[in-house]
């Protein structure tokens, strides 16, 4: 299945049915009077977050969603049937944006969450509603209200506990494959990863979800390379794992490039906790590795872990460091109440 994280959709709710103009015509009843029924209500356009979806690919082949109109009212005080709602089923983590692609209408973060995007029009009153002491035979009825038509954007942001960031070929996909059951494509050329991958990682009897996104390069925020379009997938993460290629001639420059692009994309990403690790240590001379690590720690003003996705050296320490940041965001069950609390 292809991965799609952005889709433009045209929606329209149903219009209400018109009220009826009708009079009773029954045998042996001299003064029948009005009996026109009301029109039915138009259907709503609803979005619902469901399980089992991780892409918006369905909205590539269908972009128009129109709810049914309500039926017109009928004689004998019969109300028209309401129009059926139409439901857009989206993956958990989907943002619903207005046509400007900036205004957030809804953020679908829980399974079963439902939001009405466009309400159907009310049905019109039949002539029965207009009967009064001075107007015993009204011959007017209301038309139904029209439906709402609008354009929206669906933007998927994967929900993961940890996110992998780094330059192309920093070893992010190798790390994900080594620590989880995910099997992303791995090769020795830049931008092997073309779309985000998710993997469930286990450490010390605990599990968390990790997201791997395509690599960043200098100028990604301006559209170079694949650009920063996939950075939104790590906005929801509790912690970022910044992988740096230890075989690079300038590990400090590589680290600063990624941090600059994160800052250009969103201050929210820069404010997130980060775990920094030098990868591919199995291919570096110990003296050069120690020198590069010291330079990184001085430049970033923080600890730098060592690891190798190929030999699995240092993976446990990195995963434990990630869990330290993830654990406070998880819910725990208290013994006193038996309820789940943060």
Query: Residue 212 annotated as binding?
Result: yes
The answer to whether the annotation marks 171 as part of a ligand binding site is yes
122 annotated to bind ligand: no
The Cα 157–Cα 304 span in angstroms is 28
167 annotated as ligand-binding: yes
Does 308 belong to an annotated binding site?
yes
Tell me: is residue 191 an annotated ligand-binding position: yes
Q: Is 213 annotated as a binding residue?
A: yes
Decide: 300 and 277 in contact? Cβ < 8 Å. no
User: Length of the chain, please?
Assistant: 342
195 marked among binding-site residues: yes
Q: Are 172 and 243 in contact (CB under 8 A)?
A: yes
166 is in an annotated binding site: yes
Residue 194 labeled ligand binder: yes
Does 180 show up as a binding residue in the annotation? no
170 among annotated binding-site residues = yes
Q: Whole-angstrom Cα distance, residue 217 to residue 223?
A: 10
The verdict on whether residue 8 carries a ligand-binding annotation is no
Is 159 marked as binding a ligand?
no
Q: Is 203 annotated as a binding residue?
A: no
How many whole angstroms separate alpha carbon 220 and alpha carbon 229? 9
Please give the torsion angle defined by the CA atoms of residues 283, 300, 172 and 230, in that order, rounded to the nearest 10 degrees: -150
Residues in Cβ contact with 213 at an 8 Å cutoff, skipping those fewer than 6 apart: 163, 164, 165, 172, 193, 196, 230, 231, 233, 234
- The reply to whether 11 sits in an annotated binding site is no
User: Is 267 annotated to bind ligand?
Assistant: no
Query: Is there a binding annotation on residue 168?
Result: yes
Q: Which residue is it, tokens 């020795």?
A: 188
Would the annotation count 242 as a binding residue?
Answer: no
134: annotated binding-site residue?
Answer: no
| Positions at the binding site for GTP | 166-173, 191-195, 212-215, 279-282, 308-310
Binding-site residue ranges for Mg(2+) = 173, 193
Enumerate the known binding-site residues. Answer: 166-173, 191-195, 212-215, 279-282, 308-310
């Amino acid at each position: 299945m292809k991965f799609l994280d952005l889709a433009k959709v045209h929606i329209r709710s149903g219009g209400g049915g018109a009220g009826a103009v009708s009079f009773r015509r029954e045998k042996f009843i001299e003064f029948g009077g009005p009996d026109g029924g009301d029109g039915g209500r138009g259907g709503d356009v609803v979005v619902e977050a469901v399980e089992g979806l991780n892409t918006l690919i369905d909205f590539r082949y269908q972009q128009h969603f129109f709810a049914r109109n309500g039926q017109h009212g009928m004689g004998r005080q019969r109300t028209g049937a309401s129009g059926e709602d139409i439901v857009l089923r989206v993956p958990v983590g989907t943002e619903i944006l207005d046509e400007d692609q900036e205004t957030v209408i809804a953020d679908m973060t829980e399974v079963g969450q439902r939001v009405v995007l466009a309400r159907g029009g009310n049905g019109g009153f039949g002539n029965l509603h207009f009967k009064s002491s001075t107007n015993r035979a009204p011959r007017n009825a209301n038309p139904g209200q029209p439906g709402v038509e609008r354009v929206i954007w669906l933007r998927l942001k994967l929900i993961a506990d940890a996110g992998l960031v780094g330059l192309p070929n920093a070893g992010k996909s190798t790390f994900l494959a080594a620590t989880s059951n995910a099997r992303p494509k791995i090769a020795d050329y830049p931008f092997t990863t073309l779309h985000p991958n998710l993997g469930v990682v286990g450490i010390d009897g605990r599990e968390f979800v990790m997201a791997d996104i395509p690599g960043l390069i200098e100028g990604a925020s301006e559209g170079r390379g694949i650009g920063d379009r996939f950075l939104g997938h790590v906005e929801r993460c509790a912690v970022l794992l910044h992988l740096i290629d230890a075989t690079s001639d300038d590990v400090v420059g590589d680290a600063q490039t990624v941090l600059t692009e994160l800052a250009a994309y969103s201050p929210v990403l820069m404010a997130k906790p980060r775990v920094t690790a030098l990868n591919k240590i199995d291919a570096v001379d110990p003296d050069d590795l120690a020198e590069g690590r010291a330079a990184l720690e001085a430049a970033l003003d923080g600890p730098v872990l060592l690891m190798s996705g190929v030999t699995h050296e240092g993976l446990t320490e990195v995963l434990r460091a990630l869990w330290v940041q993830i654990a406070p965001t998880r819910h725990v069950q208290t013994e006193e109440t038996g309820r789940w609390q943060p």
